[in-house]
Amino acid sequence: MSAPDSVSVIICVHSNNRWRAILEAVESVQCQSHPVLETLIVVDHNGELEKRLGETLSGVTIIANSHDRGLSGARNTGVALAKGALLLFLDDDAALEPDWVREAAMHFRDSKILGVTSRIVPRWQGNRPFWFPDEFLWVVGCTYEGMRPGPVRNLIGAAMCVRRDVFSCVGGFNHRLGRSTGQLPMGCEETELCIRASAAFPGNAFVFDAKPYAFHLVGHERLTFGYFIRRCFAEGKSKAALAAVAPPSAALATERQYVARVLPRGVLRGASAAFRGDIGGLGRAGAIIGGFAATFIGYVSGKGLRKGQRSTHSLALRGSGETP
């Protein structure tokens, strides 16, 4: 049996284009002040990358995704093979500060803690766009303005640690959610898992600790306004998909507070900065409005698509004589 603070690290990889980032992610794990039990690198249907990693890296276990292509399937492959009591999921373009594991493991001394996420700091590959608002740093997988330390509905997938018992009880990540190569940058698989786990473990919590931090690479391709809008649209569609498989009250609870409190403050702050001579403030205020609009349109689009799919499915069942 594994020690209660033993940590298995799961890094899911899919593209040769992130080679340097993958090596940095692995190195950041190997340099932890609290040694980990094992590091599993799950390769998402890329034989060339799998071979290259095997020839380059030592001290890690490299495995192929045994499920359908995509992040959820790759993570579930890692969960099934991991031996640690705590499972740390790290993005292949993220890197941990040296005390991350030690700081996170301390939380699990409390048996009521199901999982921990940290502050995620963007590492811009180029200059940060002047118009990019802190309120939308979730677009690039980072901690955004409005997050506060303490209990949270869901963890941030770039760097999160979860008790193995959670998966033993509620199962793995939902394959209907999460990113899949070649599609819009969809998400919410972590959110759905956390909602499911919170329902199964009433009185327990996931927490955000702002002391440890991880860096998340923001590549050149993510620095354009076009990517920003596409990512917001995809997030809206993801939230529609989430609302279809999770209780709506939980699926959108955090978002309601974010829209009602955080975004208006951000617009006012940007406008105030512009009034003081910071032209970028006007850009940030505009990006908040545009990002919200794109997310809302994505959500409505996703809801409409799913409603149409259900109607088509219902008609097909009636035509076959089955009961929907």
The whole-number pLDDT of residue 183 equals 56
Displacement of CA 304 from its chain's centroid (Å): 25
pLDDT at residue 313 greater than cutoff 60: no
pLDDT at 317 over 50: no
Per-residue pLDDT tens over the stretch 45-64: 999 999 999 999 999 999 99
pLDDT tens digits for 239-264? 888 888 877 677 787 888 899 999 99
**What pLDDT score was predicted for residue 310?**
46
Residues linked to residue 9 through DSSP beta bridges, in sequence order? 39, 88
Mean pLDDT in residue range 107-127: 96
> In the chain, what are the domain boundaries?
7-320
CB contact at 8 A, 241 and 306: yes
Cβ–Cβ < 8 Å for 296, 234 = no
Instruction: Check residue 176 and give its pLDDT.
Output: 76
What integer pLDDT is reported at residue 315 of this predicted model?
27
Q: Is 43 helix (H, G, I), strand (E, B) or coil?
A: strand
pTM reported for the whole predicted model:
0.89
Q: Is 264 helix (H, G, I), strand (E, B) or coil?
A: helix
Question: What pLDDT is stored for residue 178 in this prediction?
Answer: 64
In this prediction, residue 311 carries a pLDDT of 40
- Tens-digit pLDDT profile for residues 179-224: 654 455 567 889 999 999 999 999 999 999 999 999 999 999 999 9
Q: How far is CA 42 from CA 49, 75, 191, in A?
A: 11, 7, 21
In this predicted structure, the answer to whether residue 323 has a pLDDT above a threshold of 70 is no
Query: What confidence score (pLDDT) does residue 252 get?
Result: 82
Phi and psi based region of residue 83 (left: phi greater than 0; alpha: psi -120 to 50; beta: remaining): alpha
Whether 117 shows a pLDDT value over 90: the answer reads: yes
Question: Which of 180, 178, 198 minimizes the C-alpha distance to 188?
Answer: 178
| More confident call, 207 vs 175 | 207
pLDDT value, residue 316: 32
Out of 3.40.225.10, 3.30.70.1520, 3.40.50.360, 3.90.550.10, the CATH code matching 7-320 is 3.90.550.10
Flag whether pLDDT at 309 surpasses 80.
no
Q: Which tokens is 251 given? A: 């699926």
Average pLDDT, the chain: 89
pLDDT at 122 over 50: yes
